[in-house]
Chains A and B, each alone.
Chain A
């Protein structure tokens, strides 16, 4: 099974097999259902780690490709492949799924079997999205993952769950149907749905689109992705979906679903429509910066803890979009890195908020206060995660934001300066909310007797903490894979531009941004110097 030939197919469909097995269990065997889904998702995670061994780190193109003819009229193929960008997104997905399952161990009592089936089906859709190399197949997984997510929100969510679920589906649907028209249009121009083939045609100048056509096509794809990310004016579904979703739903939503949008931009918008991407970059960057600042400012005034985390996602994902559209190798790598870091940090934040909700059944910050006294361990974990999210060096959040700002700065120092404000703001809202929740006097009597983190919760949180520390320290392990893939994308957008990873030569060795993260103090003055010389 794991000979490498079909590893990707196994990764896509193994959770579906698990879901089928769950279907056969009796609905009231809650214990077996939970254990089986945990085993399936952990096995899936282990399978996904094989990717790291099977796919050579230095290779730049797509690895482990699988190609089967599926439909002959029009020619649609089952074409999977993985590269330095998608490999970690897949692993992030398979990592967060068992975490979500563990997080739902106790607080899902109602329709347990369906819940875990939906989580596994969601995993199928998301992994499929990240591995598809056929536009049609990509679209298919993109749509398929909608239903489990909508049901997760709509059945197991909080009070306004139905509204949130329908809003989520309609927003996504509106974007994706237009993307389908774009995909078909592209097919008519090229005669194929195969992504590498079309990329080749664009790169070789075989496919030349009129500027207006290209811009329309770019928008057809971009809007679908921007809704998913979500980029500033299209973000309104996100707070609703997050606040109403159950904890596992929020973790998956923030952790991986949002990344499907930014992944789509990297994988489709930039390589397929390079000229349009360049022309749109300034506008996209403006929206991204507005999103960074707006998300942070709204988060700052949120009385609702979960909404605060949701808006912090808008802010953090703004960084990712900015990094992508700066068209710099380092910022691109930073964007990929930030996608992963955000998946871990924000996922962990949602887990923590969910645990608080399990205890008090409210997200209102004013209901808490002084929690550090009854639950010190929990408070410590929360602080750790908050710090990783706001970008404390040696933790994961720092690397991504730093690389994005560094790379963006090389091309557009104005963009970077505005975005840097977001870093400060994120420190404000996270620390301020931390202070209000955990420090001060205990104002509500109920809070005096709250239990500290249970063993299960400690294990979940410790895993997340270890991963975020590991990502902060061992960032080179990730960047050495993303470097080549990111450069591939840059080459397709701006073929005339030389390999720029070597510009700040002391910072970034050719294999990637090795020392950026490891030796942040050495790296920082360089960017300051450069600011001075301008």
Chain B
């Protein structure tokens, strides 16, 4: 059973990301120039991302049904690839500032991206597991990349221990699902009895494993510590990439496996409510901007889970009426990735050498010292808050709509209450930036410079946030295509 050429096309992005990762590692002993590696990593992430077009043009199952190249995986490959590309752009100046080696960083980043790509396109559970492992292990190392920092090491350790635990759950879940269905290929599970206890147990294990990855309560406790300790560009990656990929897998599983039962609906309902409250209430008392954004990303995972509850409350996941709910999840992940990436990039840049300036107080009077940066950060925060004319508003709107469509009024109301709680702490940052005066030393210090590459990241993410806030049409039309899954 040799792989056919078309199979290669269908996994081309992952092949390129992996290939460039290996290339970076091989060249590392020979090339001294740091910029060379940045450049190489940019090319790697970019070609891989562009190659997803080739995969999409050759849609269909690859490797006899192990992976699936469809609109769904196309969307996520574009998303994680672009995220990786922007993270490389943002990380260059950061690595220089912190005097960290570059080559390993980019290699790990490329491997992590490849893992996320596999996750998003996997149609078979063991393949998904391999994708999860590739991306997770790279992530663990990246989290501890500032080896001389205690916090970074703590972050890596915590992430690794809890992450492995979650992966074990995931693996055990696969075993049980296999026991219940006799296959690990997702689209062959269609005729299984959804009431089977074994299947439920297996899916529950998978849900726990992936729930950990997306930081859903009660599996979210690692998030603030890991986000805080990891180097900030890595935090940007964590909040945008792996989260999207894990949600992608979760969505594919619950869209194909017969899971539209009361049981799953309530599971997601409870998960969503817990996650929203855990994130928003936790964020209220944070004074460290990285922790605040970490809690906010928990809250946003909760909003996305609301759409999952909407999906599972419908007749059968793959049916036409569930399409708006899928589209809502995907659109939300896109807007969320843009915003979080941009926000963490600003945090990374303003953090200064050794990431010292992470307290909210360091942002006091930012609008006076660096008006453009403050304005852009405000755009991100308003998008997280869900204010109109930002992409975040439409993200939230489509989820509200999915929830109301499925008659989940209470869930929508709870989400509304959470949005109000959330608006408090996002506003607090804006208030600090615009309505408080800088401390004397901050006012005296030179404004933090924003190198070209970082500015490009900010420009792209901010423009995207506004663009999708005014014109969500192209994306949402693409996502509402009837053949999102499959070919």
Contacts and interface: CB of A to CB of B under 8 A. Distances in A.
A144 B413 contact: no
A165 B400 contact: no
Contact of A174 (B382, B404, B420, B427): B420
Contact of B416 (A72, A139, A162, A177): A177
A161 interface: yes
Nearest to A69: B473
Contacts of A141: 388
A343 interface: no
A169 B427 contact: yes
A71 interface: yes
Contacts of A144: 387-389
Nearest to B432: A162
Interface residues of B, number: 32
Given A180-B397, A185-B409, A166 B388 contact: no
Interface string A172-188: 01100110110011011
B405 A178 contact: no
Contacts of B484: none
A154 B434 contact: yes
A144 B385 CA distance: 12
Contact of A165 (B387, B401, B412, B431): B431
A180 B409 CA distance: 12
Contacts of A170: 420, 423-424, 427
B434 A155 contact: yes
B416 A188 contact: no
A151 B434 contact: yes
A162 B477 CA distance: 41
B401 A184 contact: yes
Interface string B413-425: 1001101100110
A155 B365 CA distance: 11
B435 A155 contact: yes
B420 A173 contact: yes
B401 A162 contact: no
B476 interface: yes
Interface string B390-401: 000100010011
Contacts of A169: 423, 427
B405 A188 contact: yes
A140 B389 contact: yes
A154 B420 contact: no
B351 interface: no
Contacts of B388: 139-141, 143-144
A181 B405 contact: no
B409 to A, nearest CB: 7
Contacts of B420: 170, 173-174, 177
B145 to A, nearest CB: 37
A180 B416 contact: yes
B157 interface: no
Contacts of A184: 397, 400-401, 404, 412
B472 interface: yes
Interface string B423-439: 11001100100111000
Interface residues of A, number: 31
Contacts of B23: none
Listed residue (A147, A154, A161, A184) with the most chain B CB atoms within 10 angstroms of its CB: A184
Contacts of B373: none
B480 interface: yes
A139 B386 CA distance: 12
A73 interface: yes
A146 B389 CA distance: 13
B404 A188 contact: yes
B477 A73 contact: yes
Nearest to A216: B409
A74 interface: yes
A23 to B, nearest CB: 10
Interface in A150-169: 150-151, 154-155, 161-162, 165-166, 169
Nearest to B472: A71
A183 B205 CA distance: 38
Interface in A164-215: 165-166, 169-170, 173-174, 177-178, 180-181, 184-185, 187-188
Nearest to A144: B388
Contact of A173 (B419, B434, B435): B419
Given A144-B389, A185-B409, A166 B427 contact: yes
A165 B436 CA distance: 13
A287 to B, nearest CB: 22
Given A166-B424, A173-B420, A180 B400 contact: yes
Interface in B372-388: 382, 387-388
A333 B476 CA distance: 43
A143 B397 contact: no
A178 B401 contact: no
A71 B398 CA distance: 12
Given A170-B420, A184-B400, A73 B389 contact: no
Interface in A58-79: 71-74
Contacts of B389: 140, 144
A185 B404 contact: yes
Contact of A161 (B416, B424, B428, B435): B435
B416 A178 contact: yes
Interface in B434-487: 434-436, 471-473, 476-477, 480
A26 to B, nearest CB: 13
Contacts of A147: 382, 387
A174 to B, nearest CB: 5
A158 to B, nearest CB: 12
A246 to B, nearest CB: 13
Nearest to B434: A155
Given A178-B413, A180-B416, A73 B400 contact: no
A161 B387 CA distance: 22
Interface string A63-104: 000000001111000000000000000000000000000000
B412 A181 contact: yes
B413 A71 contact: no
A173 B424 CA distance: 10
B387 A181 contact: no
Contacts of B324: 73
Contacts of A72: 473, 477
A181 B400 contact: yes
Contacts of B472: 71
Contacts of A178: 413, 416
Which of A72, A143, A173 has the most B CB atoms < 10 Å from its CB?
Answer: A173
B179 to A, nearest CB: 41
Given A170-B423, A181-B400, A146 B387 contact: yes
B387 A143 contact: yes
B435 A165 contact: yes
A336 to B, nearest CB: 27
Contacts of A71: 471-473, 476
B393 to A, nearest CB: 8
Nearest to B378: A147
A141 B389 CA distance: 9
B326 to A, nearest CB: 13
A154 B416 contact: no
14 contacts: A71-B476, A73-B476, A140-B388, A141-B388, A154-B434, A161-B435, A166-B427, A166-B428, A170-B424, A173-B419, A178-B413, A180-B416, A181-B409, A188-B405
The list of the 7 closest CB pairs from A to B, nearest first, reads A140-B388, A177-B416, A154-B435, A184-B404, A174-B420, A143-B388, A181-B412
Given A154-B435, A165-B435, A184-B404, 18 more contacts: A73-B324, A73-B473, A73-B480, A140-B389, A143-B387, A150-B427, A155-B435, A165-B431, A169-B427, A170-B420, A173-B420, A174-B420, A178-B413, A181-B400, A181-B412, A184-B400, A185-B409, A187-B401
Interface of B: 324, 382, 387-389, 393, 397, 400-401, 404-405, 409, 412-413, 416-417, 419-420, 423-424, 427-428, 431, 434-436, 471-473, 476-477, 480
